[in-house]
């Protein structure tokens, strides 16, 4: 019988593949909860999730898909609510219209900062009003 991989955290051999949606830390993202779970080698004893070299690409792909999906949702949500154009949203985010198009199309992954800004604008209509350059003089009067 083949021996299981040893857990790097607790040394247990009670390890096996399990579906996991994370959250996983990734690049400058602190944690990404996957849109669809992937198979991850997991320790049954301590819960440690081990990333094997062969799994890294799969995880990258799943994370990039998740971030793209969420970014698309945020962009659509903001544009529908604010009746603005994608080019206006790009100006508010401080990115070029081309970059925002690439994010929406999945060709580029936004930096965590841009993603976080998108999320804030999507979840909080007031944040959009304050961030809109057209409202800057008014906001300065507070």
List residues binding Zn ion (CB under 5 A).
7, 9-10, 12, 43, 45-46, 48
**Which one, 13 or 136, has the nearer CB to Zn ion?**
13
137's CB contacts (< 8 A; 6+ apart) are none
**Which one, 41 or 93, has the nearer CB to Zn ion?**
41
Give the angle subtended at the CA of 119 by the CAs of 116 and 72, to the nearest 5°. Answer: 110
Pairwise CA distance, residues 87 & 95, whole Å: 9
**Which one, 45 or 99, has the nearer CB to Zn ion?**
45
- Cβ of residue 46: shortest distance to Zn ion, in angstroms? 3
- Cβ of residue 33: shortest distance to Zn ion, in angstroms? 22
- Cβ of residue 113: shortest distance to Zn ion, in angstroms? 34
CA distances from 18 to 11, 58, 105, 129 (A): 18, 14, 31, 44
């Amino acid at each position: 019988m083949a021996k299981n991989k040893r857990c790097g955290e607790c040394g247990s051999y009670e390890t096996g593949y399990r579906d996991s949606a994370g959250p996983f830390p990734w690049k400058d993202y602190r944690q990404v909860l996957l849109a669809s779970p992937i198979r991850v080698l997991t320790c049954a004893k301590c819960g440690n999730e081990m990333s094997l070299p062969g799994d890294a690409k799969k995880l990258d792909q799943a994370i990039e898909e998740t971030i793209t999906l969420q970014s698309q949702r945020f962009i659509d949500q903001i544009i529908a609510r604010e009746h603005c154009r994608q080019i206006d949203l790009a100006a508010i985010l401080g990115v070029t219209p081309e970059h925002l198009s690439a994010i929406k199309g999945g060709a580029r992954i936004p930096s965590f900062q841009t993603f976080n800004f998108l999320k804030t604008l999507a979840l909080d209509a007031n944040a959009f009003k304050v961030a809109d350059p057209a409202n800057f003089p008014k906001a300065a009067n507070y």
